[in-house]
Amino acid sequence: MAKIYEALRRAEAERKQRAGGESGSTPALDWDPAPEQSEASAPRARWRPFAGRRRRQVEAATTEAYADMNRCRIALVQPDSYAAEQFRTLRTRIDSLASQRPLASIAVMSPNPGDGRTTAAVNLAAVTAMGVDRKIALVDCNLRSPRIASILGLEPRTGLAEILAGEASLEEAVIRVEDPGFDVIAVRQSPPNPSELIGSEAMRRFLEDVAQRYERVFIDTPAALGLPDARVMCELCDGILVVVRADQTPRDDVEMALDLVDRRRVLGAILNSESSPERSHAGNRGGRLR
């Protein structure tokens, strides 16, 4: 009997030893990466260069966006540049015309989007406000695609659409740009009925109100072709400036845009994106009243 128990004890000990050896060998596998870990880490390694490239592309696009924004407000960020000087020349020409006829409100229009209409309106308002004791306003009447607030870095709490809808007053919508000192009536958000608001009696009353409060009001209109908004705005203003992009705006489009308005109110055309003769200001663009 004792021999049987001794044999059973040895067998049990051997079984435990074998079991312990098998369980002890399992952790050794942890030293090698599991297949799931290798497959998961490999894509991250492969995609890391692409992530870096994407990040550089985003940074480059952001830098270009800031550069484009500064070009739109060149008279403010680079007042000594050739482009800013061209806008001051435009201001002088307009002041000369204003001595011959009332020019309290001036619509800045263009045949197509991208011609530089908003850039001209912002910079003309800026350089005109640089004069002594001048009360200037800039109004964004492009209810469909407003840009003035973003160009100037403004965050309007209310805007033109709310004024026309009777939900806000002019005083509540005005935003002051302290340097050089002019007022902005921007668009907080695009309304669902822009054409109806622009063609309303409320718009007529609004323009009459701002024309009485300010020496000069520059109005950024929508593109003239394809929509009635610009034509309606131009009928309510004392003068019209037509912005044309050099080597881009078709002549036929300019003629069609002029046919939509009263040509007697047209003060002239601003040739935009004409190359600067000064290499030190390469990349800046000015305008010329013709």
| Containing structural domain, residue 181 | 73-286
Give the phi and the psi of residue 227 in degrees, each rounded to 5.
Answer: -135, 150
Answer yes or no: is 181 within a domain. yes
Answer yes or no: is 113 within a domain. yes
Question: Do 79 and 20 belong together in one domain?
Answer: no
Please tell me the distance from the alpha carbon of residue 9 to that of residue 69, in angstroms, as a whole number.
88
DSSP 165-180: TTSS-HHHHEEEETTT
Report the CATH number at residue 140: 3.40.50.300
The H or E element containing residue 76 is helix 74-77
Q: How many domains does the structure of the chain reveal?
A: 2
What band does 28 get if pLDDT is binned at 50, 70 and 90? very low
Length of the chain: 290
Sheet of strand 174-177: strand arrangement: 174-177, 182-185, 136-140, 216-220, 105-109, 239-245, 266-272
How far is C-alpha 185 from the geometric centre of its chain's CA atoms?
Answer: 16
Answer yes or no: is 40 within a domain. no
Please tell me the distance from the alpha carbon of residue 197 to that of residue 207, in angstroms, as a whole number.
13
Question: Do 252 and 132 belong together in one domain?
Answer: yes
Answer yes or no: is 48 within a domain. no
Answer yes or no: is 240 within a domain. yes
> What does DSSP assign to residue 74?
H
Return the amino acid letter for 273: S
List pLDDT tens digits, range 65-113: 556 677 888 888 888 899 899 999 999 999 999 999 999 999 999 999 9
Instruction: Specify the pTM.
Output: 0.74
Q: Which of 91, 98, 165 is nearest to 124 (CA)?
A: 91
Lowest mean pLDDT among 11-15, 137-141, 174-178, 184-188: 11-15
Show the tokens assigned to 127: 């350089």
Answer yes or no: is 49 within a domain. no
Answer yes or no: is 148 within a domain. yes
What band does 165 get if pLDDT is binned at 50, 70 and 90? very high
Answer yes or no: is 32 within a domain. no
- Per-residue confidence (pLDDT) for residue 2, from 0 to 100: 52
Question: Do 12 and 137 belong together in one domain?
Answer: no
Question: Do 142 and 12 belong together in one domain?
Answer: no
Mean model confidence pLDDT for the chain: 81
Q: Which of 65, 165, 71, 76 is nearest to 125 (CA)?
A: 76
